């Protein structure tokens, strides 16, 4: 059975050996940078807007508004996980988004 696991961006233990803590964090940024940025933004907005941002109502609004985009993104992830890049996914997402907006008006 062929493995589809990729370690293209993730640094190996040999590359991390002998590096300082700061240098290790810099090596991990391409892999985990967006997750770290997302968590950092959540913390910052929760501190700056404690009465509006970290509420259950806001979380529910975010999840309900982005559910369609999340499902389409998961569909786009399948060819990428298989090692193929399918550029028609973006076309389909835009087409169905325009269709959904036009049906709502």
Q: Taking the domains of the chain in order of start, what are their residue ranges?
A: 1-50, 66-105
Give dist(CA 90, CA 97) in Å, integer: 11
CB 44 within 8 A of CB 65: no
Cα–Cα separations (whole angstroms), residue 105 to 62, 66, 100: 22, 19, 9
CB 4 within 8 A of CB 78: no
Locus of tokens 């975010």: 62
Write down the pLDDT at residue 30: 80
Locus of tokens 């985990």: 32
This prediction has a pTM of 0.55
pLDDT digits (tens, 9 = 90+) for 23-62: 888 887 887 888 889 899 999 999 999 999 999 999 898 8
Q: Please report which confidence band the pLDDT of residue 7 belongs to, taking 50, 70 and 90 as the band edges.
A: low
pLDDT at 104 over 80: yes
* Averaged pLDDT for residues 73-89: 75
């Amino acid at each position: 059975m062929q493995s589809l696991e990729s370690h293209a961006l993730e640094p190996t233990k040999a590359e991390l050996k002998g590096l300082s803590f700061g240098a290790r964090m810099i090596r991990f940024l391409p892999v985990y940078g967006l997750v770290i940025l997302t968590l950092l933004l959540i913390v910052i907005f929760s501190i700056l807007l404690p009465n509006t941002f970290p509420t259950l109502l806001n979380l529910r609004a975010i999840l309900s508004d982005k559910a369609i985009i999340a499902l389409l993104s998961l569909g786009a992830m399948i060819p990428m996980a298989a090692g193929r890049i399918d550029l028609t996914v973006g076309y389909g997402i835009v087409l169905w988004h325009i269709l959904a907006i036009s049906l709502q008006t």
